Amino acid sequence: MHPRVRSLYKSFMWIAKDYPEGPAKLKPRIKAAFQKQAAADLSDPETFSRITERAEYVLKELEALVYLHKYRLLKRNYETQVPDFAENAASTASAKASGACATVHPPYL
């Protein structure tokens, strides 16, 4: 196996563990795609280059999908826990105006 192909395969398997639908769904698809391309004539440098460049493109797209999924998950989990500063500022301003409390503490994140 060519070192570039082996490196791509390892990268695909590494990113598959974080795939949103689970590695069990992606790993067989990766394996089938690599086996399908193994039947191609890779002795031609142009064909080999074209196939590996396409694999690198798909890998980058997959990485972007995984990172976007992680970002959205974190955003969804932490967005609900952050207090609304506009409401908090309005309530503290009204409390100051009425003289109800002398000190106003900012909300903690």
Q: What 3-state class would DSSP assign to 71?
A: helix
Distances, alpha carbon 100 to alpha carbons 42, 84, 92, in Å? 79, 21, 10
User: Is the pLDDT assigned to residue 107 strictly greater than 90?
Assistant: no
Kindly report the pTM of this predicted structure: 0.64
* pLDDT at site 91: 64
Contact status, residue 5 vs residue 52, Cβ threshold 8 Å: yes
pLDDT per residue over 16-56, tens digit each? 998 888 889 999 999 999 998 887 777 888 988 999 999 99
Instruction: Please state the domain extents for the chain.
Output: 3-96
The sign of the CA dihedral 19, 23, 25, 28 is positive
